[in-house]
Amino acid sequence: MTKPIVVIVCPKEFRFTDTAATVETPFLTDVADLRTVWLDFNAPIPEEVLAAHAIILWHGPKLEAPILARMKQCRAIIRNGVGFDTVDIAAAAQAGIAVCNVPDYGTEEVADHAIALTLALYRQLFPLDAEAKRLGWKIETAAKMRRLSTQTFGILGLGRIGTAAALRAKAMGFRTIFFDPYVPSGTHKAIGVERVSSLEELLRRADTLSVHCPLTAETRGIIGAQEIALMKPGSYVVNTARGDIVQKAPVFAALRSGHLAGAGLDVVEAEPLRTAEEAATPNLIVTCHAAFCSPEGMIEMRSTSAKIARAAVLGEAVWNRVN
C-alpha cells in the first residue's frame, strides 16, 4: 500500500543542511513517505507539495487561499516555529486543513534573549566594550547605567514566552508589569507580577517595553509613533516577537532624538535592516532573528512538528492547532 506523503518545505535561502531529515525520519519513516522540497520564497508551489498529506513548513513560502484549495489530500500544515502568519488559517480551515504550530520549543531561549538584550542596554555592555577596546577606561556611559530594582519591566503579551520573561525579570529585581487582554483573571497572582488594564498604562509606566505577543491583524504595527511618544523619556524597547508588531521608523527616530535611550531588537519590520543609515542608528542593538536558536531548541521544534505530522497522517487528533 502506498504511504501518505509528508513534505518538509524549506526556502532555499534558509540554510537547512540536514538533507536527510535525521530528526524527523524516526517519527515518520514507518508511516509516511518523507520528502524535503527547497523553494525560492516566491516560487510556484510544486505538485509534490500540493499532493502531500501533511506539510512541515519552515519560514515561508506563503500558503494562501488559492494554493490551499488545491491541496485536496492535505490533513495538516505544521509551522516549524511559533508564528503562523505565512498561512491563511481561515482558508485552510475552509479547506479542511488543520494548521498547527510549535509554540513552546524556544520558550527558554527567547525569554533569555529578551533579558540579555535588556541587560546589555541597562549595563551599556556594547559601549563599554568599544571603549575598552579603544584602550580607554573613562566609563563614559556611566550615567546611562541603572539599578534594575528601580526600573519597571513592562511586558506586552503574557503567553508562554512572556511569562518566562516575566519570571526572569522579576528574579533580576525589576518591578514587573504586563498587559494582555486575553489571559485569564488571576494570572498575575499566580506568577507574582502586576497586571495593568490598558496598553496606554503599560507604555506610560514601563522603563522597558518587552514585546511578546503574536503577530496578528490586531497587533501588526501596534507600537508606532503615538505609542512610543507615550513612553517615558529615556526608556527602552525590546522586541523578540515579530518585527511587524513594532514600526521601525518611529523607533529609529526616537533613538536619534534621544526620546528612547536604546532598543534591543531581535526582529525588525521588513527584516533585515535595509540601509547603512538604519544600521547606524544610535543606541540600537540588533540580532539576526536568532532569539530562538539553540541546538536543543531546534531538535525539540523539529521533533514536535514530526510528531504532529505523524498524528495527522494516521488520522489521529493533532495538537497546537491555531485554526
Residue 319 within a domain:
no
Q: What is the mean pLDDT of residues 120-136?
A: 96
Do 121 and 50 lie in one domain? The reply is no
CA 138, CA 115: separation in Å to the nearest integer? 27
Position 252 pLDDT exceeds 70: yes
Predicted local confidence at residue 14, as pLDDT: 66
127 and 186 part of one domain? yes
List the catalytic residue out of 64, 131, 201, 271.
271
Asked if residue 77 has pLDDT above 80, the reply is yes
Burial of 122 (0-12, 13-18, 19+ CB in 10 A): buried
| SS3 at position 235 | strand
Looking at the structure, do residues 122 and 264 belong to the same domain, yes or no? yes
Q: Is residue 318 part of a domain?
A: no
User: Of 59, 256, 259, 289, which is the active-site residue?
Assistant: 289
Take residue 323 and report the three cell numbers written for it. 485554526
Query: CB of 261 within 8 A of CB of 283?
Result: yes
Other beta carbons within 10 angstroms of residue 234's beta carbon come to: 13
CA 160 to chain centroid, in Å, comes to 12
Residue 42 has pLDDT above 90, yes or no: no
Same-domain check for residues 137 and 84: no
Residue 1 has pLDDT above 70, yes or no: no
- Asked if 58 contacts 8 with a C-beta cutoff of 8 angstroms, the reply is yes
Q: Cα–Cα distance between 219 and 3 in angstroms, integer?
A: 41
Report if residue 322 sits inside a domain: no
Active site residue 271: yes
Q: What is the pLDDT of residue 239?
A: 98
In this prediction, residue 16 carries a pLDDT of 63
- Per mean pLDDT, which range of 81-90, 164-173, 189-198, 246-255 is the poorest? 81-90
The two beta strands, 175-179 and 194-195, are parallel
* Number of domains observed in the structure of the chain: 2
Whether 188 is a known active-site residue: answer: no
The mean-pLDDT minimum among 3-12, 27-36, 144-153, 202-211 falls in: 3-12
Say what the pLDDT of residue 306 is: 97
- What is the per-residue pLDDT for 304? 97
Q: Considering the domain boundaries, does residue 89 fall inside one?
A: yes
Domain identity same for 46 and 89 = yes
Q: For the domain that residue 159 is a member of, what is the CATH number?
A: 3.40.50.720
Whether residue 261 sits in one domain with residue 163: yes
What global pTM score does this model have?
0.86
Q: Summarize pLDDT for 310-321 with one digit per residue, the tens.
A: 999 999 999 999
Same domain, 263 and 301: no
Domain assignment of residue 48, given as a range: 5-105+294-313
pLDDT over 70 at 37, yes or no: yes
Which pLDDT score is estimated for 83?
Answer: 82
Q: Tell me the Ramachandran region of residue 81: left when phi exceeds 0, alpha when psi lies from -120 to 50, beta otherwise.
A: left
Q: Report the length, in residues, of the chain.
A: 323
Q: Is 113 assigned a catalytic role?
A: no
Are residues 239 and 271 located together in one domain of the fold?
yes
Q: Which helix (H) or strand (E) holds 18?
A: none
Q: Is the pLDDT of residue 18 over 80?
A: no
314: its cell numbers: 494516521
Q: Has residue 321 been placed in a domain?
A: no
Among 89, 95, 96, which Cα is nearest to 57's? Answer: 89
My answer on whether 163 and 302 are in the same domain is: no
Residue 206 domain-assigned?
yes
- The residue from 113, 242, 302, 310 that is catalytic is 242
> Does 206 lie in the same domain as 60?
no
Q: What are 98-124's pLDDT values in tens digits?
A: 999 998 888 999 999 999 999 999 999
Residue 171 has pLDDT above 90, yes or no: yes
Considering the domain architecture, whether residues 134 and 266 belong to the same structural domain is answered as yes
Residues 143 and 261 in one domain: yes
Place of cell 492535505: 74
